[in-house]
Amino acid sequence: MATLNDVAKKANVSKMTVSRVINHPEQVTDELKELVYEAMRELNYRPNAAAKALANNRTQIIKLLILEEMDTTEPYYMFLLTGIANELDKYAYSLQLLTHNNVQIGDSDGFIVCGMRQEDEALIKSLDKPTVLFGQNDMGIDFVDSNNEESMAKATEYAIEKGYEKIVYIGIAVDEPFARSREKGYTTVMNNHGKEPCIYNLENRSRYSAAFIRENWDMFPKNTLFLCASDRLGLGVIREIKEHDGDIPGDYGVIGHDGVFLDQIAYPNLTTLKQSITEMGAACARMVLKKVNENGKAQGDQLFETELKLGGTTR
Amino acid sequence: MATLNDVAKKANVSKMTVSRVINHPEQVTDELKELVYEAMRELNYRPNAAAKALANNRTQIIKLLILEEMDTTEPYYMFLLTGIANELDKYAYSLQLLTHNNVQIGDSDGFIVCGMRQEDEALIKSLDKPTVLFGQNDMGIDFVDSNNEESMAKATEYAIEKGYEKIVYIGIAVDEPFARSREKGYTTVMNNHGKEPCIYNLENRSRYSAAFIRENWDMFPKNTLFLCASDRLGLGVIREIKEHDGDIPGDYGVIGHDGVFLDQIAYPNLTTLKQSITEMGAACARMVLKKVNENGKAQGDQLFETELKLGGTTR
DNA sequence: AATCGCGGTGTTATCGGTAACAGAATGAAT
DNA sequence: ATTCATTCTGTTACCGATAACACCGCGATT
């Protein structure tokens, strides 16, 4: 592998000049820069991350802290991971995964945290490196998330537009900002249209939403749409409507949320609000690296729109 | 952060002795070792991975190459990843993810490759670092996998034991060793019991297995069990049996394979062959690190047993 | 008693980068 | 012409670890 030194010799300059071309190009004349770029190209120079890390007193490592239990977890993490990993790669950064099983928080330049709940606040605050959350929060920590409120508002509008008379919201029974935002998006639009919100919150498992539908089937006349805060809940609803031989999407509509994997497993395919998971992962990575380079300066929030992805569960 | 030097001073020895205690403890007297361990403990010494990497001309990075397309991918990758990551962590190694979108194969000490197909052989062989596959292969590359043949044999035995008369094998239509092994496990046991194997291979998507059942419903009398090479296929089968108001598990049984996530999504929960994904991930990590330390020496294969996890789709 | 061998420890140079400082060249100001 | 400021480039030391070598003291060998 070619080193800085090799490039320097080839370009007839000192190592330092090459280093400057890479890190502070404005301090080098255009003439030399050209020579150096040329030499780098010819030698196919790739910086040595370890050396860079050592010299900068960095680790070139970002740790991803996953606070949820894996098995209760939605399958979107792989997309998040690839988004993060690919972005980090560009800056010669590595990713390290931390899960509940592996709490040992070694050294890193920064953290990305996901699956956070209120009770994890102390843990997060104890991290002594730049940190970015995946998932909205009201603790004032920089985050990346879908625009949950807007997302559900959009879906509610769509359901109304499609002529479903009754629109039932099935939320996730946790007291977290994302859940409140989704509910709020629904409520706001319902109120705007002079319709009565109808909200139930359940644990996020398909068997609970199925059981809920079963036990309350009489409450749901034809022309009802179930707006679910997750595809998982949506799956259970579909399953149980089918048990009652309900007609989807004619008499009953279902809209889920997340748009990763599960919506395609459903039959008919679930209409869902698809999140841009990979892009959000990349955004997390960019944000945490920026924060690292700016000595931990706050970066604010970044919200991504969801896409209403039509399946066979809505008219 | 405490360094080697700090530890050395505290223990009144040279850096080199401390380094030896870590890497070649047999070269140091017990007396000094004690002193050094003591000092390390007191200072909470953690080796600096970057410095180590630089001195050893290593990267302390293992790359994970995922050759499958993410969206067609089973959701078990997260478990694999955590298994790998946690194990690598123990040796101050980082993980880097490579996907189709990010083919740029930078520097690393070794590779773990998964989702490999025959046509990827050239790519694998071109990797110039110790490589381990997740997934059996007959190209002579070291691998870790479930014991696919034994797994299906076990399931077939179980189905017979439970008194299902007809046992239909629904495989994945790819010409890969893992698929052949699974089929072979089924065939062997069927033959041993003097039963006629009955095999169909489909693309690995629930809609195809559902369609298959629909189109051939007449071929499947009561008391039939469908042994599926994946939970995905199993899901489709269940769905379609329910469409025909078939009684699961009374008249029809279904067994899937993989045991990650999907089996729990199914209703009733799918009886499946659960793979020890996390453990296999750790095994991949150990194997590739061993290979790195032994200059690429072949490590052979490592097979893991699956666990027959009973759900509601078998008697 | 002088020499040899050897286990155990310290010294030096090195891995590939970077910051801080030193020094050379240029043009402007006196 | 001399001085000074400015811009650019090179030199040096260092980040934290390790391999290779040098060295020291000891018992065994002659």
Establish if B265 belongs to a structural domain.
Answer: yes
Residue A226 pLDDT more than 70?
A: yes
pLDDT in the model for residue B72: 63
Residue A102 pLDDT more than 70?
A: no
CB A142 within 8 A of CB A291: yes
- Selecting from B50, B96, B232 the residue whose C-beta is nearest the C-beta of A53 gives B50
Residue A301 pLDDT more than 90?
A: yes
Establish if B193 belongs to a structural domain.
Answer: yes
Q: What letter does residue B104 receive in the DSSP assignment?
A: -
CB A67 within 8 A of CB A113: yes
Report which of residues B103 and A154 the model is more confident about.
A154
Establish if B223 belongs to a structural domain.
Answer: yes
Give yes or no: residues B155 and B37 share one domain: no
In angstroms, what separates the C-alpha of A63 from chain B's closest C-alpha?
Answer: 10
pTM greater than 0.85 (yes/no): yes
Residue A101 pLDDT more than 70?
A: no
Q: What angle do CA A198, A117, A210 make, to 5 degrees?
A: 40
Q: How confident is the model at residue B98 (pLDDT cuts 50, 70, 90)?
A: confident
CB B98 within 8 A of CB B64: yes
Residue A72 pLDDT more than 90?
A: no
Please name the amino acid found at residue A4: L
Q: How confident is the model at residue A3 (pLDDT cuts 50, 70, 90)?
A: very high
pLDDT in the model for residue A153: 98
Residue B61 pLDDT more than 80?
A: yes
pLDDT, tens digit, 9 for 90 and up, residues B167-187: 999 999 999 999 999 999 999
A133 membership: H or E segment, kind and range: strand A131-134
Establish if A90 belongs to a structural domain.
Answer: no
Give yes or no: residues B40 and B156 share one domain: no
Establish if A180 belongs to a structural domain.
Answer: yes
pLDDT, tens digit, 9 for 90 and up, residues A124-154: 988 889 999 999 999 999 999 999 999 999 9
- Strand D: which bases are under 7 Å from protein Cβ? 8-12, 14-20
Over residues A6-32, mean pLDDT: 94
pLDDT in the model for residue B287: 97
- Strand C: which bases are under 7 Å from protein Cβ? 8-12, 14-20
Residue A280 pLDDT more than 90?
A: yes
CATH for B226: 3.40.50.2300
Q: Pick the residue of A52, A93, A94 with the most B CBs within 10 A to test the interface with B by mutation.
A: A94
For B239, the domain range is: 148-275
Over residues B251-259, mean pLDDT: 97
Name every residue whose Cβ is closer than 8 Å to that of residue B301 and which is 6 or more positions away in sequence.
B136, B142, B143, B144, B145
Would you call A51 an interface residue with chain B, using a CB distance cutoff of 8 Å? yes
Mean pLDDT of chain B: 93
pLDDT in the model for residue A36: 95
pLDDT in the model for residue A261: 86
Establish if B88 belongs to a structural domain.
Answer: no
Q: Collapse the DSSP code of A100 into the 3-class scheme (helix H, G, I; strand E, B; otherwise coil) and give the result.
A: coil
Q: Pick the residue of B45, B46, B54, B278 with the most A CBs within 10 A to test the interface with A by mutation.
A: B54
CA distance A171 to A199: 7
pLDDT in the model for residue A295: 87
Establish if A231 belongs to a structural domain.
Answer: yes
Name every residue whose Cβ is closer than 8 Å to that of residue B97 and which is 6 or more positions away in sequence.
A81, A82, A85, A86, A95, B63, B64, B66, B81
Please name which of A5, A27, A26 lies closest in space to residue A14, comparing C-alpha atoms: A5
Q: What letter does residue B176 receive in the DSSP assignment?
A: -
Residue B104 pLDDT more than 70?
A: no
Over residues B124-139, mean pLDDT: 93
Establish if A286 belongs to a structural domain.
Answer: no
By C1' distance from the Cα of B8, the closest nucleotide is C10
Name every residue whose Cβ is closer than 8 Å to that of residue A26 and which is 6 or more positions away in sequence.
none
Would you call B266 an interface residue with chain A, using a CB distance cutoff of 8 Å? no
Report which of residues B75 and A152 the model is more confident about.
A152
Residue A118 pLDDT more than 90?
A: no
Q: Are strands B224-228 and B166-172 parallel, antiparallel or unpaired?
A: parallel
Q: What angle do CA B108, B111, B114 make, to 5 degrees?
A: 145
Mean pLDDT of chain A: 93
Please name which of B148, B261, B271 lies closest in space to residue A78, comparing C-alpha atoms: B261
What phi and psi values does residue B193 have, to the nearest 5 degrees?
-95, 10
Total domains present in chain A: 2
Give yes or no: residues A42 and A153 share one domain: no
Residue B102 pLDDT more than 70?
A: no
Residues of A in contact with B99 (CB under 8 A): 82, 86
B31 membership: H or E segment, kind and range: helix B30-43
What phi and psi values does residue A257 have, to the nearest 5 degrees?
-145, 130
Would you call B223 an interface residue with chain A, using a CB distance cutoff of 8 Å? no
pLDDT in the model for residue B70: 74
Percent of chain A with pLDDT over 90: 82
Residues of B in contact with A83 (CB under 8 A): none
Beta strands in chain B (DSSP E): 61-66, 94-98, 110-114, 131-134, 143-146, 166-172, 199-202, 224-228, 252-258, 271-274, 301-304, 307-309
Q: Collapse the DSSP code of B143 into the 3-class scheme (helix H, G, I; strand E, B; otherwise coil) and give the result.
A: strand
Q: How confident is the model at residue B74 (pLDDT cuts 50, 70, 90)?
A: low
Pick out residues whose CB falls under 7 Å from strand D: A 12-17, 20, 27-29, 31-32, 51, 54-55, 57; B 1, 3-5, 15-16, 19, 22-24, 47-48, 51-52, 54-56
